[in-house]
Structure 1
Amino acid sequence: MPSTLLTDVAEAKITAASGSGTQVAITHIALGDGNGANYGPSFSQTALQRELARQAIETRHIVGGNAWRVKAEFGPETPAFFVREMGFFDADGDLIAIWAGNDVQARQTGAITYLVDHVLSFSRVAEGVLIVNAPDDVLFDLAVTTGTAIANLQLETLRQADAIRAAHGSY
């Protein structure tokens, strides 16, 4: 079964950041073809076997005390290849987590938008060491929807005021 492993580099960086006020910011997702074959990932990996595309994480939100969901899109212009591995990289470019497995069902990129919607679990890190900080997509969507509704109400009020002035003149 494909699995997502938190790498040794990630464990060391997160442990070092604990209590220091620094952070490990996971910023990018990379896709690779595993050199054309499935494989079991290892904790000691520092790179994908063959990275072929990388995108910034577009959205992320908390799904638990030590897990968050990340989303990214790889557009139709992405080169065509069969995805057998996925890497999650921090702002320093270090591999933090890797998804791969001997039984991965490879899916092809290119010509269509390839969507990544993945839950990252940080269960390898000691309890209380990790603070998952990600925006709440639902709350953000609500804020955008509310802001749009208020703007539309204000525009309608102005439109009606202009119509009343045009029909009756200024007072």
Structure 2
Amino acid sequence: MSTPLQPVITKAGLAAIWRADNTGVAAEITHVVLGTAGYTPRTDQKSLQAQVAKYPIAGGERLSSTQIHLTAVADGERAFWVREVGFLLSDGTLLAVWSHPTEALTYKPADADLLLAYDVSLAALPADSVTINSIPGGLNLTLAAPLAAQASALIAEQLRGLQQQDQIVDQAARQRIAGEQIANLMLRMKAAEKRQNEDRDGLLSAAVSNAAGLIALQTLVVQHIHGA
């Protein structure tokens, strides 16, 4: 996946483009440079503010007359946040620079190769005034293992995310089932309580009836005794 960039074209880079045009050739982008400073780029820049590394262009293609696609591989032992990116011409001129005051572009881990892929907009330059000069063989087979490892790590991270999502969905389903069981239990408890109340009312009615019958019987016995 490529990162779209709209870098600031430097005055020095624009002058180099004009010099190349006067000779009837296009200027060549040969390297990408990375740095750790975050800021708003300026047209008078001639270098990055905190350059850390420089890598040759591994491959690229022209997407349109004013947009190119570049790839490179960032290797080495150092780990750092990439907050500024520059593109160098074959004579070392800083053609364009991208940076942001607060947002990092990516992270270069220690002792690991990072694939850089950028879609660079050069709308401020004359059409077809820049070409890409990549290393012979582009992304050759010597890079297959580290790039495959990077891809595997990304896939593994995505898989972990999916597994966590599945666990969340499963937990939600368990909670829903538990809620339904609790609601059903509450209904059954209310029904049992209702039956108990009905049974109690029936017993009270029967007791009252029995008491009334007993009183009536006692009254008849008393009347019979007095009558005798």
TM range (shorter): 0.5 to 0.7
Contact 1:74 1:114 in 2 (8 A): yes
Counterpart CA distance in 2 for 1:20 and 1:42 is: 28
Alignment: residue pair count: 130
Contact 2:26 2:131 in 1 (8 A): no
What is residue 16 of structure 1 aligned with on the other side?
A: 19
1:19, distance to aligned residue in structure 2 (A): 4.4
What is the TM-score normalised by the length of structure 1?
Answer: 0.67
What is the TM-score normalised by the length of structure 2?
Answer: 0.51
Which blocks of at least 5 consecutive residues in structure 2 are unaligned? 138-228
**More off after superposition, 22-31 vs 102-111:** 102-111
CA displacement, residues 21-53 of structure 1 (integer Å, 9 cap, x when unaligned): 24321100111101xxx2111111100001111
Q: Structure 1 or 2: larger strand share?
A: 1
| Higher RCO (CA-CA < 8 Å; seq separation 6+) | 1
| Structure 1 consecutive aligned stretches of length 4 or more whose deviation exceeds 6 Å | none
What is residue 84 of structure 1 aligned with on the other side?
A: 83
Residue 60 of structure 2 aligns to a residue whose secondary structure is strand
**Larger Cα-atom Rg:** 2
1:132, distance to aligned residue in structure 2 (A): 4.3
1:5, distance to aligned residue in structure 2 (A): 1.1
- Identity of aligned pairs, percent? 26
Letter in 1 for 2:29: I
Contact 1:82 1:108 in 2 (8 A): yes
Within a 5 Å distance, the mapping from 1:55-74 to structure 2 comes to 55-74=55-74
Which blocks of at least 5 consecutive residues in structure 1 are unaligned? 141-171
1:105, distance to aligned residue in structure 2 (A): 2.6
The alignment yields a C-alpha RMSD, in angstroms, of 2.3
Within a 5 Å distance, the mapping from 1:1-171 to structure 2 comes to 3-34=6-37, 38-75=38-75, 77-109=76-108, 110-126=110-126, 128=127, 130-134=128-132
